[in-house]
Amino acid sequence: MKITEHISSAKGKTLFSFELLPPVKGQSIQGIYDAIDPLMDFNPPFIDVTYHREDYIYKQHDSGLLEKVSYRKRPGTVAICAAIMNRYKVDAVPHLICGGFTREETENALIDLQFLGIDNVLVLRGDARHADSGFIPTPGGHAYATDLLQQVVNMNNGVYLHEDHDTAYKTQFCIGVAGYPEKHFEAPNLKTDFKYLKMKVDMGAEFIVTQMFFDNSKYVEFVDLCRKNGINVPIIPGLKPITSSKQMISLPKIFHIDLPEELSEAVAKCKSEKEVREVGIEHMIAQCKDLIKIGAPVLHFYTMSNPGPTKRIAEAIF
C-alpha cells in the first residue's frame, strides 16, 4: 500500500512511523526485530530502512603496506524490508541513494523491490564518504537526487535503461523525497532549495519527509512555503529526541540544524545524562502533541534502532 494511501485512509488522523538502521555487518537480523517489537503496539503503517554508502577502510598486510578496500558497514536494506513485510505485515520503505550504485545496479535493485511487492521508496542523494570533502558520484551512477528520481519515474512509465520495446512493465512506486525546514546545508539560499524541491514534486515525488527539527515553527513555516510554492504533497515531519548531552553539539554540526534556546538551557541545567534524556523526551512529547494539533499527517521517528525513547513518546501521545 502506498504512503499516500495510508495517509488518505487515515482521514486526518496523525499516523506513527519510524526509521531503522540496518545492523552492522556480522550482526543478525534479530537486532532489527528487537528494535521493532516494542513499537508495534502503536500500529505503524510503514517502517523506513536506511541505505548506507560504501566507505573505504585500510587493511595492513604483513609487509606493512596498507591496502584501500571498499567496505559497506551496514548492508542488507532490501532483505530487511522483505523480512519486515513478511514478519509484521506492514509496508517497508527502503531508502534509495545515489552513492555506491551505477544506474544498472539501481535498476536491478528497483526490479527486486517490485518483485518483492514493495510499493514505496525514499529517494535521496545520500551522504559523502567520510574521507571525502564532498559528495563524489559513483562512476556510471547518479550525481543528484533528481537524477535518481527520474530513473524511478521512468520505470513507473515503463522506460528502462536498455529496453526499447513497448511492452515493458510499468512499476508503481510511490516516491518520497527529503525536505529541509532549515534549508539543505549545500543550498546557497532557501529559494534555491525550494526550487529543487518543487522540481522533484513536479517530476513525480508524492510525499516529503523532513530533516529532524526541534522547533515546530520551522515545520509550520516550511509547510506554508511549500504550499505557496505549489508543493501540495503530504509533508511528514522527521523527529528525534535529544537523548544525550553530546547531541547538543553533534546534531547541529552533522545535520546543520538549530536547537531552541529553552531546550539547550534545560539540558545545561541537567546534572546527569539520565536527566538530559528525560528533558529530551519531554520536549519531544510536547512537540509531538503540538504537531498533532496542527495536522501533521505522520509523526516519523528517527530511532537509530533504539526503540526506548520513541516508545516513551508514543505512549504519551497515541
- Beta pairing, strands 66-71 & 55-60: antiparallel
State mean pLDDT over 190-196: 89
State mean pLDDT over 86-93: 98
Given this model, what pLDDT does residue 53 score? 74
Of the listed ranges 34-43, 71-80, 194-203, the least confidently predicted one is 71-80
Comparing CA positions, the residue from 149, 162, 152, 147 lying closest to residue 113 is: 152
- For this structure, is 282 an active site residue? no
Of the listed ranges 88-97, 126-135, 231-240, 274-283, the least confidently predicted one is 126-135
pLDDT band at 263 (very low <50, low <70, confident <90, very high): very high
What is the C-alpha to C-alpha distance for residues 165 and 51, in angstroms, rounded to an integer?
32
List Cβ neighbours of 114 (8 Å cut-off, separation of 6 or more): 169, 171, 173
Q: Give me the catalytic one of 5, 19, 275, 282.
A: 19
CA dihedral 37, 250, 209, 110 (to 10 degrees): -70
pLDDT at residue 64 tops 90: no
Amino acid at 150: Q
Q: Compute CA distances 211 → 177, 232, 235, whole Å.
A: 11, 18, 11
pTM over 0.85: yes
pLDDT at residue 68 tops 70: no
List Cβ neighbours of 142 (8 Å cut-off, separation of 6 or more): 98, 101, 103, 106, 125, 148, 151
Given this model, what pLDDT does residue 107 score? 96
Of the listed ranges 123-132, 213-222, 260-269, 284-293, the least confidently predicted one is 123-132
